[in-house]
């Protein structure tokens, strides 16, 4: 069961949990799809788009549960990134983990993800 990952501000994610679905962060809604990363893309996504930002969570989602609304499309350097063209049904979520900042200001990823493998 391949997992894909969403980095989200904790407050935005808590709102999604309260209503039972995730419609995306403001950047997702502006782009028309929910941005995800594969296991080997999470570290770069965190560094590039969330540098120095605290109070984040890392949401692991079962890719197969998303059906045809999930598409892998070229982005950074031509790499294929998972994009969800629908709201995220929270039944596909497998875990929600804190994404703290380390002393160096970089996010501390779960051990498996730090090595580019699913956590």
In 3-state terms, what secondary structure has residue 98?
A: strand
Q: Look up residue 100 and give its DSSP letter.
A: -
pTM over 0.75: yes
Show the tokens assigned to 118: 């699913």
pLDDT, residue 20, reads 93
Q: Where are the beta strands (DSSP E) in the chain?
A: 3-9, 21-22, 34-35, 56-62, 70-74, 80-84, 88-89, 93-98
| Domains of the chain as residue ranges with CATH | 3-109 (3.20.170.20)
Per-residue pLDDT tens digits for 39-93: 999 999 999 999 999 999 999 999 999 999 999 999 878 889 999 999 999 999 9
CB-based burial of residue 18 (10 Å sphere; 0-12 exposed, 13-18 middle, 19+ buried)? exposed
């Amino acid at each position: 069961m391949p997992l894909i990952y969403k980095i989200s501000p904790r407050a935005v994610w808590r709102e999604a949990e309260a209503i039972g679905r995730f419609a995306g962060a403001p950047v997702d809604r502006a782009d028309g799809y929910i941005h995800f990363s594969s296991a080997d893309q999470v570290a770069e996504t965190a560094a590039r788009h969330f540098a120095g930002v605290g109070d984040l969570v890392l949401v692991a989602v079962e890719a197969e549960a998303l059906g045809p609304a999930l598409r892998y499309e070229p982005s950074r350097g031509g790499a294929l990134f998972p994009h969800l063209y629908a709201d995220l049904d929270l039944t596909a979520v497998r875990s929600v983990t804190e994404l703290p900042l380390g002393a160096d200001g970089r996010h501390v990823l779960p051990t498996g993800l730090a090595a580019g493998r699913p956590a």
